[in-house]
Structure 1
């Protein structure tokens, strides 16, 4: 049966929404198909020194992209232990996706993903920061505050729980609380004039405090205090603010803070039996003279406010970046045997293992490509990276979109090299053929990702989903359309059928007819040709099918060849999410 006969006959298979996956019951029993994400809050910056002009806090008051937390999922209402862990969610590693007091955390790898259980109406979560992969079997977190000279955020300890969570909805806020003690010293120099001028050179050390202990993730108790030692302390760049993290403890008779300015040393002796409580901040203003120190005031407060705001995870506006997640697994690629519309190079249909990845929902636009060109060192761009000058030109030392009204049209006339350079600049890559087809199909193994939406009136869907030569009269001019002009597939991806053909990263060899060789043809080496998928506004409808494939020389450009970008899960820890969001947002 021909493609046109199928359209008239009205029998197409329905699509599957592929935004999650059902993992093996033995390891990840799930309810529904959405992976757990966490919306996590830290407090406002808890102290700004009145003495220092430097306002940034040195302790953990904001999340950074790439911060890692450890997460446990357990039976609701029961203390954390081996026999209440659910779904093997035992110290799973989740990663912050952006900077700020509020961040969204996603699984750091596929094996860390968390799903709800089928057989439990509610569950509880326990989480902590910073992540360690060597926790003891009795859930003791090792505390070590002995080195605070460089980065205090690695010394800090944060803890969060969330109780009585059902599988209905994806609102999982985690509010993290500081479990250690923060000591803030606002320093006012009262030294000789020549010493005051060089106050930024001051060195500070805390002496007589316990530097090691264990924190229980079960009940938050701190035990096994040991090793009283000297702690080198970080100061602000002007030397006028000191922040020290302490293990909660009662100060002994030999606890003091030492200030060393080019060999002139003064000491502030902490009152014996002074109690430093967990989650509290102790702030003092000190006037430093020689050999005396005057303590002007003491302020004790909670170390940060407790803030928790739930997020509706079904609302895509809360996702930090404009990407679509495709869950890994085994997927079919190619056309089934005896598919009338298929070319020989689509056989044999075969199963491939695809890792989890994120993909841009739109073809890369002209405006986005200009941002890439303008970020290159010296703005001297190799000829192979430059799109056709009718879209982009170089004037006054800056790359411009020739017609600003076409900012959000797909960039075309880009070589394979130029497309891949853009993708790698963002921290991603061009999709493999398997990734591209998996994302395009959205679980639908018929001719198109939208096949079967309405068997009684299917012809209307070609104009909604496809921009090709056969449908040009339904979609406007014989040209590429805006990247979001047509309807997306079930994965939320636009223009997977037509508009602009898209480069893939796979090398290929040609058969006698000039198209890629069949999948079972074996060759080694990089190859001289690269695959393009999806068809374009210049190709017939048949070449816009999910399985259709062709190949070109990597130097080839044309006004109907573009690309999109993928981010494999292995790349996630090194991604600049802020940059991705800025670049991939449509103007």
Structure 2
């Protein structure tokens, strides 16, 4: 009897011990893998697979401003979701990685999921697994039958490229799939260089288009922030430290206003040098506004109206007829309005203008007193 009691007591203690271990163990989010701390990098979670067409479709269903027929070309590029039929991915490719996605679109998806794009350091640590100093996620062996790569032919389509379903090959030591080949993956970092015009971000991992050397872990590439390719996709991370970069709505608004500033300057310069007739200037400026914001240039009257309502005494006397002052001021207003537009995309125009009015009130000194765009 004592022996049976001792056995039962021992089983109960074991069960309690196992239960305590489960309670203390970190709960890994579904579909993600825990990457342990190391190399001066805090622990974080990473998606086991590249983001798929089916997953991205759920995102655009809930965020209409990112649908193929509504997304701004200035933000997503001419080839955004180019292989899709409207807002439906190619037949039979639900579990293939989504491609033709700009960095901004990838960042927006990550935020919607409560996640982030990986830094290069996070991506490389994840790709290597426990294998330090190796060429590929599996070691130094040649990639034959280990990755989707070197698939380019004359008949290959960048609109509907020869990707493979995520997870078609064995994972690395951390349980991550397709860290080499299939599609390149956007990273968070922006290139900090002066000899490249425009804004570029890093991508890692190589793709179906790449040769064996290009899909090596250490290889890097870069692409314009507002353009996607049939070779380029992404996956997300979830930092355990809860640190996030600048919100994509704020980032897009700042970038678009800077782009418009440069394009306005170019238009004025073209007229001053006689390259463009002065009578064509207004049409050129209207095109710039429509391309970058999706709004007609006449909408600027609403922005100015709000400024006059909340601005300090004397705001009515600003020399709006002076082009430089007018456009510098208007671009600062566009920056605030576009932030509201992207952050509250599902609201109607009247609610957006109400929120914009609040933002102008909060930032009135910057709007009125700042120099330049």
TM-score by length of 2: 0.52
The alpha-carbon deviation at position 528 of structure 1 amounts to 1.8
Distance 1:320 1:438, change over 3 A: closer
Distance between the aligned counterparts of 1:566 and 1:511, measured in 2? 29
Distance 1:471 1:551, change over 3 A: closer
1:172 matched to 2:31? The reply is: no
1:368 matched to 2:55? The reply is: yes
Cα distance per residue 1:506-534 (max 9 Å; x no partner): 0114597x8xxxxxxxxxxxx82110100
Distance between the aligned counterparts of 2:194 and 2:72, measured in 1? 31
Bigger relative contact order (CA 8 A; separation at least 6): 2
1:492 pairs with one of 158, 175, 185: 175
The alpha-carbon deviation at position 164 of structure 1 amounts to 5.5
The alpha-carbon deviation at position 548 of structure 1 amounts to 0.6
Cα distance per residue 1:25-55 (max 9 Å; x no partner): xxxxxxxxxxxxxxxxxxxxxxxxxxxxxxx
Paired residues of 2:76 and 2:228 also in contact (CA < 8 A): no
The alpha-carbon deviation at position 485 of structure 1 amounts to 1.0
Paired residues of 2:28 and 2:45 also in contact (CA < 8 A): no
Distance between the aligned counterparts of 1:545 and 1:366, measured in 2? 25
| Structure 2 equivalent of residue 391 of structure 1 | 83
1:466 pairs with one of 129, 147, 157: 147
Distance between the aligned counterparts of 2:168 and 2:238, measured in 1? 24
| Structure 2 equivalent of residue 271 of structure 1 | none
Distance 1:471 1:484, change over 3 A: farther
Distance 1:389 1:552, change over 3 A: closer
| Structure 1 equivalent of residue 46 of structure 2 | 359
| Structure 2 equivalent of residue 545 of structure 1 | 216
Structure whose alpha-carbon radius of gyration is higher: 1
1:443 matched to 2:104? The reply is: no
Cα distance per residue 1:30-88 (max 9 Å; x no partner): xxxxxxxxxxxxxxxxxxxxxxxxxxxxxxxxxxxxxxxxxxxxxxxxxxxxxxxxxxx
The alpha-carbon deviation at position 463 of structure 1 amounts to 2.5
Aligned pairs (5 A) from 1:432-581: 432-444=119-131, 445-451=133-139, 458-459=141-142, 462-469=143-150, 479-509=162-192, 528-571=199-242
Q: Which of the two has greater strand per residue?
A: 1
Distance between the aligned counterparts of 2:233 and 2:212, measured in 1? 18
Runs of 4+ in 1 over 6 A off after TM superposition: none
Distance between the aligned counterparts of 2:107 and 2:14, measured in 1? 46
| Structure 1 equivalent of residue 109 of structure 2 | 422
Cα distance per residue 1:176-215 (max 9 Å; x no partner): xxxxxxxxxxxxxxxxxxxxxxxxxxxxxxxxxxxxxxxx
TM-score by length of 1: 0.34
Distance 1:464 1:402, change over 3 A: closer
Paired residues of 2:44 and 2:238 also in contact (CA < 8 A): yes
Distance between the aligned counterparts of 2:116 and 2:210, measured in 1? 26
Paired residues of 2:76 and 2:226 also in contact (CA < 8 A): no
Distance 1:389 1:497, change over 3 A: closer
The alpha-carbon deviation at position 435 of structure 1 amounts to 0.2
Unpaired segments ≥5 residues, structure 2: 1-11, 154-159, 244-373
Distance between the aligned counterparts of 1:471 and 1:438, measured in 2? 28
Distance 1:173 1:484, change over 3 A: same
The alpha-carbon deviation at position 320 of structure 1 amounts to 5.8
Number of residue pairs matched? 220
CA RMSD of aligned residues (A): 3.6
Paired residues of 2:149 and 2:210 also in contact (CA < 8 A): yes
Distance between the aligned counterparts of 1:325 and 1:534, measured in 2? 19
The alpha-carbon deviation at position 323 of structure 1 amounts to 0.5
Distance 1:376 1:480, change over 3 A: same
Paired residues of 1:427 and 1:571 also in contact (CA < 8 A): no
